[in-house]
Amino acid sequence: MCVVVVVVVVVVVVVVVVVVVVVVVVVVVVVVVVVVVVVVVVVVVVVVVVVVVVVVVVVVVVVVVVVVVVVVVVVVVVVVVVVVVVVVVVVVVVVVVVVVVVVVVVVVVVVVVVVVVVVVVVVVVVVVVVVVVVVVVVVVVVVVVTSGLD
């Protein structure tokens, strides 16, 4: 009877240790994946913003140089007005596109992170509940069996 109790205790301890290790490994892996995803998204957003800003600056400089040359060479007010309108439209379109891209990326990252966290929490809770139920059933069975032997 003592051997049965010792075996049951060892099995319960091993099961609990394995469950704890699995839960810790799953949580660590999820945290690492979430951190990597967030870092990659932030780097991509920063690169996109920098590229867009550089392109806007280059376009503005080129347009300004063209406007100056046209004004100096031709001195036509209509051309200057058209160029300014084009620059304003390009800048507005670029800014709107950058803002939309950044918002979409941030929303997607937040949704992915929330879904991953919820799934991990649900899996961990289910695993813990199953392990606790199994341990309780094993203990009850051992107690019933050993009490019948006395």
pLDDT of residue 77: 72
Other CB atoms within 10 Å distance of the CB of residue 140: 10
* CA dist., res. 150 & res. 146, Å (int): 7
* CA dist., res. 51 & res. 46, Å (int): 9
| Cα separations in angstroms, 134 against 9, 103, 127, 129, 137 | 13, 46, 11, 9, 5
pLDDT of residue 71: 66
pLDDT of residue 76: 66
* CA dist., res. 91 & res. 128, Å (int): 55
pTM: 0.49
Joined tokens for residue 66: 């063209």
pLDDT of residue 80: 76
pLDDT of residue 127: 96
Q: Whose CA is closest to 94, among 126, 125, 56, 67?
A: 56
Check: CB of residue 58 under 8 Å from CB of residue 87. Answer: no
pLDDT of residue 150: 60
**Mean pLDDT (10-residue bins), the chain, 150 residues:** 88 96 96 96 95 94 88 72 92 96 96 96 96 95 82
* CA dist., res. 71 & res. 100, Å (int): 36
| Helix-strand-coil split of the chain, %, nearest 5 | 95, 0, 5
**Can you give the residue ranges of every domain in the chain?**
29-122
